[in-house]
Amino acid sequence: MSKLYINKPVPGIDQYISLNEPAIGTAYSESVYPQNANLPVLFKPITIRGLTFKNRIFVSPMCQYSSDNGHATDWHFVHIGGFATRGVGAICMEATAVVPEGRISPEDAGLWTDSQMEPLKCIVNFAHSQGTLIGVQLAHAGRKASTYAPWVHSDIAKTFRAPTYVASEKEGGWPDRVAAPSDIPFSDQYPKPQPMSEEEILRVENAFVEAVERCKQIGYDFIEVHGAHGYLQHEFLSPLSNVRTDQYGGSLENRMRWPLRVAQKIRAAWDKPFFYRISATEWAEGPEKDPNGEWKQWGIEQSKIFVGELKKFGVDLIDCSTGGNWVKQKIAVGPGYQVPYAEALKKAHPDLPIGTVGMITDPEQAESYLSGGKADVVFLARELIRTPHWAILAAHKLGVAVKPANQYERGWVEMLTPAHPGASSDHRGGEQGTGKENLDQAPAKN
């Protein structure tokens, strides 16, 4: 019997999807592409808690403000599915609230009830069918909850602007049920929060663990906790937002108490990779510590200590960002402006994988951070919005041959040829692999 040539399907799923071998975004063997003998770090796999990520380009969580009472929609399927087919090493889905009042806006994602699992399973299953690992960022917005989606408050074209950020009850908000460590609003245009009682702290803590149990059923590959950008975990850490006088406030040890307890419980419930996003500095005026040794704001020195404690509890990667808790923050924005903070954490904890973010747009730039030991992975968001195929473009620019999706290979002929010394690089024209390669160049017959 002659050999069969079949467009192989992904096994074990209930529909036909073409199988990519190797997985999209994986660097080909040097036996096929000799130029891959010395891979850039960006395209070297990284193994975290026994799970191997095919490259080090991770999709950063991006709030879409498009959920239906916390439930993912077709928007999320297309948004996330598009990244899954374009070569990234991992996708972290957006900030997902563990309780309804923990959403940033009424349209934020949630994971506080079982009915929210099914649409997420569809997204996760599709990502897995494309050979892409996927996780979710569990969150509580704290004093920054019950606010408008960005384009509801104001548009970038500056054709309108709301007088406040607060979403009222008539607009789907919950301004009288916003919770925080202390009753300090983020600004006078944000809700005034209610200080959390011990009972409320425990309720939210347990909600994180319950969300982890749902993550297991959904099939996520990793979890990230949002401890940055002025949301609840960050609010407990910072003396700018936490002025409590009980066991959760005052000293650094007390301010770290609740975030560390949440991390410890999540680690106990979750045996896959566990990431934690922090804001390494708040960009507030003045020093992190005054001459008397009192911590005045959250900064890199406390971040080093906090990360050390997270490491003891088994956190596997730190996703290092900055800012978001001080409304008057002044940030010197520029390419890689947040990388020095990731580098500082990497120097303090060289055995812990560190991710870096912040205006990373160029492949050589990203590679320099990794090859220079400043971080272990890069998290991209806005650049991936602008250039969804950034991972494949980066490979091309860095001289690496990686696997595009089968359906997209014709867009990457220049990167993929020649496959080996002496191979033809002439792949102009029609449908590759069907005997139609040169039809577009054939002269017309009279």
Q: Pull the structure tokens for residue 16.
A: 């036909």
d(CA 110, CA 98): 6
d(CA 236, CA 242): 5
Secondary structure (H, E, C), the chain: CCCCCCCCECCCCCCCCECCCCCCCCECCCCCCHHHHCCCHHHCCEEECCEEECCCEEECCCCCCCCECCECCHHHHHHHHHHHCCCCCEEEEEEEECCHHHCCCCCCEECCCHHHHHHHHHHHHHHHHCCCEEEEEEECCHHHCCECCHHHHECCCCCCECCCCECCHHHCCCHHHCEECCCCCCCCCCCCCEECCHHHHHHHHHHHHHHHHHHHHHCCCEEEEEECCCCHHHHHHCCCCCCCCCCCCCCHHHHHHHHHHHHHHHHHHCCCCEEEEEECCCCCCCCCECCCCCECCCCHHHHHHHHHHHHHCCCCEEEEECCCCCCCCCCCCCCCCCHHHHHHHHHHCCCCCEEECCCCCCHHHHHHHHHCCCCCEEEECHHHHHCCCHHHHHHHHCCCCECCCHHHHHHHHHHHCCCCCCCCCCCCCCCCCCCCCCHHHCCCCC
d(CA 90, CA 135): 8
CA-to-CA dists, residue 145 to 106, 223, 301, angstroms:
9, 21, 28
d(CA 65, CA 59): 17
Please name the amino acid found at residue 299: G
Out of 65, 148, 220, 231, the active site residue is 231
d(CA 191, CA 178): 7
How many other C-beta atoms are found inside a 10 Å radius of the C-beta of residue 26? 18
Q: By the 8 A CB rule, do 238 and 255 touch?
A: yes
231 annotated active-site = yes
- The residues assigned a catalytic role are 231
